[in-house]
Structure 1
């Protein structure tokens, strides 16, 4: 397995190179540049042109790409034109916020989705099953930004239960227990919103697999031996039915780490998703290209993680 993992990482190198080239070229096709917003009727055009020349924006695109990729290999992704700090520092701060939100979202996602999927499959065609299926259809049909706006209005303003922006209140001292509880409190509403919309895949896959597994010969054999129905489900049906869910676990984690753009923007949560939107609006190319590269790497990493998780869950599967 370790040889395969190493080989997959080596294959990522040319994939990331091609991705970096495409990202850089597409960024250059965007209208304007980071200094376009500084232009006013009173601005001397020579000043803006001097800034562009100093930043190397007047160089040919391949020269700019060479400087950017060589510096990136050294860990230097340049400076943010908007925030006036190193891109690595800026993304590092936002990535930590996204990491905590992702962990809570994944926990709620599977804590809600797996029990509902099991109940729907076990009690097929009952009222409970129909309610769960109806919920999954509704959650699939509602766009993310619509539910986020509804929850923000209801639980942020109409019934102010949760905060509407930020990661923690300033009155708490960093490192204290109250500080961490307050951070969780700020993450609850966006995490619940994502979890409620993301459970549809888990519920449908798990329900279908459980229904199919109930008619398998190994289940009939276990029932004929007198095993309690609870053990049949926990030791036989559930273990085999969870495989499709495990296959998407890596993608789920890395996808969330990439930042949920709508969730973070609507709830004013300063993560990588919100940073990506603000960077596009301000044409902060150094931040945009670095974030898209990071998102691409996480997508490739998610594929590898899913294969590894599948091989752990099911010993019959080995990535060779």
Structure 2
């Protein structure tokens, strides 16, 4: 019953977003037929009428909405007025680089954040713990586009070790391994820019969660039995402490995608943001 309710709420939310998206586009200033006619070289009444008929713009608003929702249910997202190509085709051409950027940034932020948080939790009042807290505060408060610009200045101007735009060099010679390494080289700065703000959150959360778990009875029991400190931390405590981090990571995935759009603009990454 709970799952059915959640699925129903999700379906209602998606339907609401679709309707709102449709109305925003239709109520925005401008006429799509005029835009398309301008690209074709002239806006005669006959051409405008034909374009409106081809795109269904001559129908009442309710009829256009019904057609739009029906097409979406069949997987047809319509045709772009600007590119005059299927929207699904445009998304398919751009979604791969965005997924690569988002997944790389998410995994890197989780792994580094957990490691930093665990090391800081072992000595809650030590220098490393304080450094993690400062890093988390600064990283969370820094705008992602500013971080990208600073990384470009540092690693492209002062220390020119990473490329700053695009996904790969134009001089691709057909070697798949060389291409993969080139993409990874281009991916370093965008993924670091996107991951830093989430790395800060995961590091703070990992530190707090580990401190709580390390103070529980079963951890004290394991230590009393003579279990080595490293096994206590990484085998017994981390398995429970990582659960809140994974939960937050799932909730933050939408924010990660929205941040990726800004990062793609800064680094000219050929994803959805472009």
How high is the TM-score relative to the length of structure 2? 0.86
In the TM superposition, 1:33-72 aligns within 5 A as 33-34=31-32, 44=43, 46=45, 49-50=48-49, 51-52=51-52, 54-72=54-72
Determine if contact 1:95/1:272 at 8 Å carries over to the other structure. Answer: yes
1:161 Cα deviation (Å)?
2.5
Residue number in structure 2 paired with 1:266: 266
Inter-partner Cα distance in structure 1 for 2:272 and 2:151: 21
1:70 Cα deviation (Å)?
1.4
Q: Which secondary structure state, in structure 2, belongs to the residue aligned with residue 68 of structure 1?
A: helix
1:126 Cα deviation (Å)?
0.8
Residue number in structure 2 paired with 1:26: 24
1:21-60, Cα deviation, whole Å (9 max, x unpaired): 12212222322244565769x9656477444454333433
Q: Which secondary structure state, in structure 1, belongs to the residue aligned with residue 140 of structure 2?
A: helix
What RMSD over aligned residues (CA atoms) do the two structures have, in Å? 2.8
Residue number in structure 2 paired with 1:12: 10
In the TM superposition, 1:32-181 aligns within 5 A as 32-34=30-32, 44=43, 46=45, 49-50=48-49, 51-52=51-52, 54-174=54-174, 176-181=176-181
Deviates more, 1:176-185 or 1:146-155: 146-155
1:249 Cα deviation (Å)?
3.2
Residue number in structure 1 paired with 2:234: 234
Determine if contact 2:106/2:195 at 8 Å carries over to the other structure. Answer: yes
1:259 Cα deviation (Å)?
6.7
Gaps of at least 5 residues in structure 2 are none
Residue number in structure 2 paired with 1:243: 243
Determine if contact 1:112/1:195 at 8 Å carries over to the other structure. Answer: no
Determine if contact 1:95/1:257 at 8 Å carries over to the other structure. Answer: no
Inter-partner Cα distance in structure 2 for 1:210 and 1:75: 45
Inter-partner Cα distance in structure 2 for 1:159 and 1:262: 24
1:267 Cα deviation (Å)?
0.9
Over 3 Å counting, the alpha-carbon distance change for 1:174 and 1:15 in structure 2 is: farther
How many pairs were matched up?
A: 271
Over 3 Å counting, the alpha-carbon distance change for 1:14 and 1:141 in structure 2 is: closer
Inter-partner Cα distance in structure 1 for 2:178 and 2:104: 17
Gaps of at least 5 residues in structure 1 are 275-320
Q: Which secondary structure state, in structure 1, belongs to the residue aligned with residue 57 of structure 2?
A: coil
How high is the TM-score relative to the length of structure 1? 0.75
Structure showing greater relative contact order (alpha-carbon pairs closer than 8 Å, 6 or more residues apart): 1
Determine if contact 1:259/1:273 at 8 Å carries over to the other structure. Answer: no
1:142 Cα deviation (Å)?
0.7
